[in-house]
Amino acid sequence: MGAVFLGERMEQFSQQVAIKILHPDLFPKAADAKIAKEGQLLAALDHPGIVRMLDLGVSENGSRYIVMEYVDGVPLDIYCENQHLPLRRRIEILLEVMDAVEYAHRHLVVHADLKPENILVSLEGKPRLLDFGVATVLSDMGALEVRTAKIQPPDDVKDGGEFASHTALYGSPEQRSGERLSAASDVYSLGLISESVLAGVEPEILSPNVLQSNFPEPTPLPASRKLRLLDPEKFARIAATRATTSGGLEAAIHGDLEAIISKATRIDPTERFQSVQEMRDEFERHLLGYPIQTRPIGWLVRGYKMALRNRLAAIVGFVFILVVLFSVLGIVKKANEAARKRQIAQDRLHELVRLTDVLAGDLYHSLDGLEGAEPAQSALLNSAHQTMNQLASDDEQDAQLELELAGEYEKLARLELTRSRLGQRAIQQAADDLDKERALLDLLNHRDPNVVQLRARLPQMVQLLTAAKDQVNH
């Protein structure tokens, strides 16, 4: 477009600006009215992610100029590489860029020249978009055709070099074909920028007449495929600048990110995202771990994403499912005959009582003396009480199970009364345990030696309960 100078205000207050002196052949004659009208529209853009246009006019020698905010930053791709930013942080920066582009689109302004060089990232890590809408102004006045026809690259830049092709590298197919630009053009450019920043691969160069061709170019390779075709050393370097490995980068790009980039860079504008906000929402869903809408996924992937969003709950739920699954499998395996089902169920209940005895016994005492053991021990006792109460409520218990339950209630009462922090709640729980033990023993054969032994210990437990009450009351 021309040359850019760093300008400084010489009166009133200190201010630095960027002054862009445009090439004199860019504009046709009598374009001043168009420049003034578009300049007012662009100057009205007020967004923290957009470098504001401060002034636009013609100098004394007839050169047209644009005065913009000065940003001390580096291009987006260089910033991400120098900082070795992981993919998550890169996506967060892209979300800020898309937010700025969507803001401009809501104000009916299309950038039409999005590329990493036009997205400067400040020292604080905030992206700022340059030249917003300037390309649209030039296009509307026929200036782009003038530039292509009259402005030649410097002698030291060969054909196909950055001067001649870099902007076109990120331009949309309709931009290359000279058609009217729209928000879909910015969506396409953002897709290519995302692919470059995230995957580290350069966009493919399409022919200028790709939209009019009867033989459309083949579908561009997905980003993960492009990575696999790279030299292994280069692939490893790209992954290292993203704080991951080659395999980790390929796995991260393949799937959601690849699908989003692919839809944003469709040749047909109608097949792309309908807005930058729609594209931004997809990136945000991926970042938050929700299923994206761009590609269909199965219930396994949905479950996996939900588990990643709620890892603690997923672990607890997974353990619970495993316990339930193994219990059900154990019961089903033994239940080959209908006549044995009840016996098998009773066996499982006996095992549950013994398991609870271990949890409230050996595991309980293994926590003695450990810092923060009291809450864990309380949780073990509460779980044991709930299990015992549920089993005791079954009217179809056999005598052996009722005897085991009675003995377990005595153990729970003793543990409650010997807690390091004895309180009224523990005493009440112990009293309830002894009452339930006594009720179970009354239902059993009083001549059974095990029943006689438990009944003989009841007075001792009552004395222990009384002593605990006195201790708490005094």
Residue where one domain finishes, among candidates 293, 308, 323: 308
Contact 54, 69 (CB under 8 A): yes
Is residue 217 pLDDT above 60, yes or no?
no
Query: Residue 16: inside a domain, yes or no?
Result: no
Alpha-carbon 60 to chain mean position: 54
Mean pLDDT for the stretch of residues 110-129: 91
Ranges assigned E (strand) in 83-227: 119-122, 127-129
> Is position 281 annotated as part of the catalytic site?
no
Q: How confident is the model at residue 167 (pLDDT cuts 50, 70, 90)?
A: low
Is residue 428 pLDDT above 70, yes or no?
yes
User: Across the chain, which distance is largest between two alpha carbons, in Å?
Assistant: 120
Contact 173, 201 (CB under 8 A): no
pLDDT value for 408? 81
Q: Are residues 353 and 229 part of one domain? A: no
Higher pLDDT, 1 or 68: 68
Give tens-digit pLDDT for 334-382: 665 545 555 655 565 556 566 566 655 666 666 666 666 677 777 777 7
Dist. CA 155–CA 166, nearest whole Å = 17
Q: How many CB atoms lie within 10 A of CB 71?
A: 17
Q: Are residues 276 and 222 part of one domain? A: yes
pLDDT value for 234? 93
Query: Residue 50: inside a domain, yes or no?
Result: no
Q: How confident is the model at residue 218 (pLDDT cuts 50, 70, 90)?
A: low
Is residue 79 pLDDT above 50, yes or no?
yes
Contact 267, 204 (CB under 8 A): no
Q: Are residues 369 and 256 part of one domain? A: no
Residue where one domain finishes, among candidates 308, 324, 354: 308
pLDDT value for 318? 64
Higher pLDDT, 338 or 209: 209
Give tens-digit pLDDT for 9-23: 888 888 899 998 877
**Helix/strand/coil for 104:** helix
Contacts (Cβ under 8 Å, ≥6 apart) of 365: none
Closest to 38 in 3D by CA, of 88, 105, 109: 109
Query: Residue 381: inside a domain, yes or no?
Result: yes
Contacts (Cβ under 8 Å, ≥6 apart) of 57: 64, 65
Closest to 433 in 3D by CA, of 467, 463, 406, 402: 406
**What angle is formed at CA 95 by the lines to CA 253 and CA 109, rounded to 5 degrees?**
125
Query: Residue 39: inside a domain, yes or no?
Result: no
Is residue 142 pLDDT above 80, yes or no?
no
Closest to 21 in 3D by CA, of 61, 70, 50: 61
H/E run at residue 333: helix 311-334
The winner for highest mean pLDDT among 61-75, 97-111, 151-165, 166-180 is: 97-111
What distances in angstroms separate CA 296 from CA 268, 292, 293, one per listed residue?
21, 8, 7
| Total domains in the fold of the chain | 2
**H-assigned helices in 370-448:** 373-392, 399-417, 424-442
Q: Are residues 426 and 292 part of one domain? A: no
Query: Residue 19: inside a domain, yes or no?
Result: no
Contact 238, 224 (CB under 8 A): no
Residue where one domain finishes, among candidates 273, 308, 343: 308
Higher pLDDT, 409 or 350: 409
Burial class (CB in 10 A: 0-12, 13-18, 19+), 466: exposed
Q: Are residues 387 and 443 part of one domain? A: yes
Q: Are residues 183 and 87 part of one domain? A: yes
pLDDT value for 163? 36
Dist. CA 90–CA 52, nearest whole Å = 24
Q: Are residues 300 and 340 part of one domain? A: no
pLDDT value for 189? 94
Is residue 151 pLDDT above 50, yes or no?
no
- Residue 451 belongs to what domain range? 334-473
Range of weakest confidence among 25-39, 71-85, 414-428: 25-39
pTM, entire model: 0.59
Q: Are residues 80 and 123 part of one domain? A: yes
Contact 397, 391 (CB under 8 A): yes
The per-residue pLDDT of the chain, averaged, comes to: 78
Q: Are residues 355 and 299 part of one domain? A: no
Query: Residue 21: inside a domain, yes or no?
Result: no
pLDDT value for 299? 58
Counting every residue written for the chain, the total comes to: 474
Which of these is catalytic: 32, 72, 99, 113? 113
Query: Residue 243: inside a domain, yes or no?
Result: yes
Give tens-digit pLDDT for 242-300: 999 999 999 999 889 999 999 999 988 999 999 999 999 999 999 888 888 887 665 56
Contacts (Cβ under 8 Å, ≥6 apart) of 147: 1, 23, 25, 26, 138
Give tens-digit pLDDT for 231-245: 999 999 999 999 999
Mean pLDDT for the stretch of residues 382-395: 74
Q: How confident is the model at residue 58 (pLDDT cuts 50, 70, 90)?
A: confident
Q: Are residues 371 and 242 part of one domain? A: no
Dist. CA 350–CA 143, nearest whole Å = 88
Q: Are residues 390 and 298 part of one domain? A: no
pLDDT value for 64? 82
Q: How confident is the model at residue 107 (pLDDT cuts 50, 70, 90)?
A: confident
Closest to 176 in 3D by CA, of 148, 221, 207: 207
Range of weakest confidence among 203-212, 406-415, 422-431: 203-212
pLDDT value for 294? 84
Contact 113, 131 (CB under 8 A): yes
Contacts (Cβ under 8 Å, ≥6 apart) of 63: 21, 22, 24
Q: How confident is the model at residue 213 (pLDDT cuts 50, 70, 90)?
A: low
Closest to 18 in 3D by CA, of 74, 65, 67: 67
What distances in angstroms separate CA 125 from CA 49, 114, 233, 356, one per listed residue?
11, 19, 29, 55
Q: What is the CATH number of the domain that holds 192?
A: 1.10.510.10
**Helix/strand/coil for 143:** helix
Q: Are residues 298 and 430 part of one domain? A: no
